């Protein structure tokens, strides 16, 4: 099965998504992308998941990629959770009874953590890559309007090494017409508020989780360790890859990282 899908948000926006599946999948993975990018940047990860027998559901966040909405903008921390739930429901309807995983990167990791706290036990297990977690509280001047925009410099200068150590990935990132060239103060402010909320409710997170980060990932700001220590999950694993940047699924050793991820997921399938 390979098809594009459209989800409608609580406030009437159309979100673009996609379902890919091998014949007789053994489980389904819901991939949640990061800020100012889009689900197409996870084509390679999707190919590997499909080859391993996993169905994959992906979508573009509101204001990202081909989805509707004010560009790279949120007005409330719950919007990303409600939007993500649309595609969780799609995954469960399309693949009833199959084990479910959520793979969230960066802001998608923030969405995944927020989802797990809001809906404990609804997803079987979580994989977090460079997640915006418990120490990533952004301090923003309250006098700056939410609809103020600033350039996307996540892959520029020294930050380029933090986004990914492969220069070809950085070049492709900026050449990609669906990668946002700006982001809003509203997005960063809402994430900051949401991360503070996560910190207050961190012990509610009780689902199995694999937390992965690059050792040079300054964007994660060490938040993964506070998150990992604070959650109540009894099944939790932490992997930090020395020398790697923010986008570990795009790094030179991505095949090894994806292989390890799939093995972790396989180990949590019902016998």
Q: State the pLDDT confidence band at 20, using cuts at 50, 70 and 90.
A: very high
DSSP 126-193: EEEES---TT------TTS-TT-EEE--TTSHHHHHHH-S-HHHHHHHHH-TTS-SEEEHHHHHHHHH
For residues 76 and 162, the model is more confident at 76
Q: Is the pLDDT of residue 222 over 70?
A: no
pLDDT at residue 250, rounded to an integer: 96
The closest alpha carbon to 59, from 75, 82, 76, belongs to 82
Residues whose CB is less than 8 angstroms from the CB of residue 48 and which lie 6 or more positions away in sequence, other chains included: 255, 258, 259, 262
pLDDT of residue 34: 96
Tell me, what's the pLDDT at 49?
98
**Model confidence over 99-143: pLDDT tens digits?**
999 999 999 999 999 999 999 999 999 999 999 876 655 667 778
- For residue 216, the model assigns a pLDDT of 85
Q: For strands 125-129 and 2-8, give the pairing.
A: unpaired
Does pLDDT of 90 surpass 70? yes
The reported pLDDT for the residue numbered 243 is: 87
Q: What is the pLDDT of residues 138-159, one digit of tens each?
A: 667 778 899 999 999 887 766 6
Whether 16 shows a pLDDT value over 80: the answer reads: yes
Q: Whole-prediction pTM value?
A: 0.96
Choice between 20 and 222, residue whose per-residue pLDDT is larger: 20
Among the listed ranges 16-30, 50-64, 186-200, 216-230, which one has the minimum average pLDDT value?
216-230
| Predicted pLDDT of residue 138 | 61
Q: What is the mean pLDDT of residues 245-269?
A: 96
Q: What is the mean pLDDT of residues 224-252?
A: 93
Give me the number of domains the chain comprises. Answer: 1
Taken in order 219, 222, 224, 230, the sign of the CA dihedral is negative
The per-residue pLDDT for range 33-88, each reduced to its tens digit, is 999 999 999 999 999 999 999 999 999 999 999 999 999 999 999 999 999 999 99
Q: Within the chain, what is the greatest distance between any pair of CA atoms?
A: 55
Query: What confidence score (pLDDT) does residue 155 get?
Result: 79
d(CA 194, CA 10): 19
In terms of Cα–Cα distance, which of 34, 21, 256, 237 is closest to 132?
A: 34
Range of the domain at 92: 2-267
CATH number at residue 240: 3.40.50.1820
């Amino acid at each position: 099965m390979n098809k594009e899908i459209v989800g409608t948000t609580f406030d009437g926006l159309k979100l673009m998504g996609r379902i890919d599946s091998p014949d007789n999948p053994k489980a389904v993975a819901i991939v949640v992308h990061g800020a100012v990018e889009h689900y197409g940047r996870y084509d390679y990860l999707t190919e590997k998941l499909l080859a391993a027998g996993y169905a994959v559901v992906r979508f573009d966040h509101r204001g990202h990629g081909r989805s509707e909405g004010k560009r790279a903008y949120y007005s409330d921390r719950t919007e990303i959770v409600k939007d993500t739930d649309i595609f969780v429901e799609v995954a469960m309807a399309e693949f009833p009874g199959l084990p479910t995983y959520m793979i969230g990167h960066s802001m998608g990791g923030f969405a995944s953590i927020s989802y797990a706290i809001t809906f404990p036990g609804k997803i079987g297990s979580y994989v977090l890559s460079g997640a915006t977690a418990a120490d990533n509280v952004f301090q923003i001047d309250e006098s700056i309007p939410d609809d103020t925009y600033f350039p996307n410099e996540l892959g520029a200068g020294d930050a380029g090494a933090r986004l990914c150590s492969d220069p070809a990935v950085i070049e492709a990132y900026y050449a990609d017409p669906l990668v946002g060239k700006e982001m809003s103060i509203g997005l960063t402010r809402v994430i900051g508020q949401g991360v503070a909320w996560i910190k207050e409710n961190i012990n509610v997170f009780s689902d199995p989780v694999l937390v992965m980060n690059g050792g040079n990932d300054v964007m994660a700001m060490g938040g993964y360790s506070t998150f990992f220590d604070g959650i109540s999950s009894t099944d939790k694993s932490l992997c930090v890859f020395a020398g790697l940047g923010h986008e570990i699924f795009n790094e030179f050793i991505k095949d090894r990282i994806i292989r390890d991820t799939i093995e972790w997921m396989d180990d949590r399938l019902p016998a």
